[in-house]
Structure 1
Amino acid sequence: MKKMICTALCVLSVNLIAQAQQVAPKGFDVEQQLASTGKIDSIVYPSKTVGVSRKAIIYTSPGYNTTKEYPVLYLLHGIGGDEREWLRHGNPQVIFDNLYAQGKMQPMLVIMPNGRAMTDDRAGGNVMAPDRVAAFSTFEKDLLNDLIPYVESRFSVKKDREHRAIFGLSMGGGQALNFGLGHIDTFAWVGGFSSAPNTKLPQELLPVPKEAKDRLKLLWISCGDQDGLLNISKRTHDYLLEHQVPHVYYLEPGGHDFNVWRNDLYNVSQLLFKETKSKEVK
C-alpha cells in the first residue's frame, strides 16, 4: 500500500519519486552481516545560546575519510525524546548501513542533536511545561550559531546550503520546517515527518513561496493516515499546492509512531544530496 502526491514541477526525477513511494521492505531496519558499517559516536559542543556544553549523536558513513568532504543531515527528535531517541527507537544506523550496502544512499554525516535547548535538557518529567516547550524554539539559535559551526570546524564536511539537510519527527518535524524554511540560505533539503502543532502556519512558514520554488532541492511533508496530527501536514501541503511550490506529500499507512518514522527515514535518506531534474509529476 502506498499513497503519494507530488505537486507539479516537482524537483525530483521520476526514478527518485518511485523510490519515495515505497513502503520499506521487510528487514530494512534489521542489522545484517555487512562488509562495512558506519560509526555512531557522541559529541559535546559548547553552546553560547544555552550557556553550557550540549550533547549530540553523530553517525559517520562507512569509509568516512577526512580527505573527502561530506554533506550533513540534521535529524531531530520529538517532544519526549533527546539526542538518543532515534537510536533507541528508530535504528537509523542500521537503516543507513543497509542502504549503503545496496548502493542506495549518498555518503553523509548525520547529526542527531538534543532539540530541547535549555540547561537541563534531559527527557522526562513534564515535557509540556512551558519552559521545556519554549526550549524547542530556542534550539533554532543553538543549531545555527553553535552546533553547525562546531560540526563544520571539527569534521570534514561541505559548508554550503546545497549540502545541508534538516528533517525531524513530530515536534522535531515542526522544528525542521520552521528552521529550514526560515533559513533557506542555510538548508536546501527540508522536511517534516508527522509534524506537530509547533509547526508555524503555512503563510508564516513561507510568506514568499517563490523562495522555496527557486532554491530548495527537496521539500518533504509526510504523515501516517491514522495520525491525529494529520491536519498539520495537510494544511502545509494545501498551501504549497495552492502556491505551486514543488514538494513531496507522502501519506502512508499508520499513526504517530516509529513504524511511520522509520519508513520516512528509509525513503528520505535515499533522496538526499543526489542531483535531480525538474519534472512535472501529478
Structure 2
Amino acid sequence: MKYVVSLALLAAVCLLAAAFYPRASAPQAETPAAASSTNDTASSSKQEQGDGEAQANPSSAIEQVRVDSKLLGREMHASVYLPPGYNSKTPYPVLYLFHGYGGNYGDYAAYLSLQSVTDRLIQSGQIDPLIIVEPEYGNSFGVNSKPDEGQDPGSVSIGPYEDYLIQEIIPYMDTHFSTQTARAGRYIGGISMGGYASLYLGLNHRDLFSRIGAHSAAIWNYSSSDQFTDQRDWLYPNDELRSIRDPFKLAADPSKLQDMKIYLDAGASDQLAVQDYALYELLQEQDADVTWSSTPGGHNGAYWGGMLSDYLIFYAGTSLSED
C-alpha cells in the first residue's frame, strides 16, 4: 500500500549533515564502511550446494566473486547472497543491490545485516528465497562516462560502467548461478547513489527489471535544496545527457513505466526526502505503480538498516499488495 508523508513534514525537513552523501575523501560516518574483499572464491563453488538430499539445517551463504571485465579492463568483484538450501536446479529471483557513494560491494552484507535479515524473512515465509548481488561499481552512478564529458568533481569513477553492469555482470550471474532470467524475476535497488543507479538502470533497461527500489535516492530537481551540485553537473553536463540520465526526465516517459513496480523512501530528517517525494509525485501523475514511505531517520546506516526488511518484502514478499 502507499504511504504518503504529509507536506507539513516535508516542509520541516532540516538541513542535511555534511556527511549525508560523503565524498571518497570525506569521513564515512553515515555510510557503511567499505567491505573487505578478503577470501574471494570461485563464483561457481556453491553451484552444487543443495543438490541431492536436503540438508537437515540448510544455511545461507555469502560468496565474494571475481569478474574479469573486458569493458573496464580489470578484475571486478561482487558479493552474492545465496539463500538457505540453495539448489543449482532451482531458478531463483535475483536482486541487484547498489551501495552508496564512497561505499563498496558487500556493504549490505557486512554492515546492514543483510544475511541475517534475509534469512529471517525467508524462514518466516515473508519473502521468497532469492539471490542478492552487490556489484562493485565504484562512484560511477552506474552510467557510461568519458573523461571529456563534464568537469570531474574529483571523486567519481569514469568509464563504461553501465555497459559493464548490463552486458557483463548480469550475464555472468545468470550463467554462474541459478537465477530466473525473465524480467519478472529480476529486481534492482540501492541506497543514495545506488538509488540513483537503480532508477537510471531500471528505467533505461525496463526489459531486464520488473521492480525498482530507490532508497534515499541521490537525485536532483534543480531546486535550492540540491546537494553536491558538482556531481549533478558532472552527470548532466548538457541537455542531451540529462535527457537520458535524469530520473525526472525518464519518469516523464510513460513507456518506461509499463509493468514496473517502484518503491521510493527517505528518512523524515533526510533533506533528500524533498527531491525523492517530488519524483514520487511525478510518478503518480504518470499513473505509475509507485509506493512512497517515510519514517523517522536520516541519511545513514541506522535508517537503512531499520528499513531493510521493508525493502526486501517489496522485492520478494510472498503477500504483496495488489494496489
2:303 to 260, 263, 269: 260
The Cα of 1:188 is off from its aligned counterpart by 0.5
CA distance in 2, matches of 1:79, 1:64: 31
Q: Percent identity?
A: 28
Contact 1:50 1:117 in 2 (8 A): no
| Alignment of structure 1 residues 224-263 onto 2, 5 Å | 224-263=267-306
Instruction: Give the aligned partner of residue 109 of structure 2.
Output: 87
1:219 to 257, 262, 265: 262
* 1:224-268 CA distance string (max 9 Å, x none): 010022222112111112222120111111000112212332112
The CA RMSD measured in Å over matched residues stands at 2.5
Distance 1:54 1:260, change over 3 A: same
SS at match of 1:133: coil
Q: TM-score, normalised by structure 2?
A: 0.68
| Alignment of structure 1 residues 38-77 onto 2, 5 Å | 38-77=60-99
SS at match of 1:4: coil
1:170 aligns with 2:200: no
> Which deviates more, 36-45 or 53-62?
36-45
Distance 1:96 1:87, change over 3 A: same
* 1:146-189 CA distance string (max 9 Å, x none): 10011111111111111110100001111011111111111111
Task: Count matched residues.
Answer: 238
Q: Which has the higher strand share?
A: 1
2:214 to 179, 192, 195: 192
Tell me, which stretches of 5 or more residues in structure 2 are unaligned? 6-55, 141-150, 220-231, 236-244
Q: TM-score, normalised by structure 1?
A: 0.77
Instruction: Give the aligned partner of residue 209 of structure 1.
Output: 254
SS at match of 1:53: strand
SS at match of 2:294: strand
SS at match of 1:93: helix
The Cα of 1:131 is off from its aligned counterpart by 5.8
Tell me, which stretches of 5 or more residues in structure 1 are unaligned? 7-33, 119-127
CA distance in 1, matches of 2:64, 2:152: 27
* 1:193-231 CA distance string (max 9 Å, x none): 10113695444222322441x311x20101001002222
Contact 1:56 1:111 in 2 (8 A): yes
The residue identity in structure 2 corresponding to 1:215 is D
1:141 aligns with 2:167: no
Greater RCO, 1 or 2 (C-alpha within 8 Å, sep 6+): 1
1:272 aligns with 2:315: yes
CA distance in 1, matches of 2:188, 2:247: 18
The Cα of 1:114 is off from its aligned counterpart by 1.2
SS at match of 1:249: strand
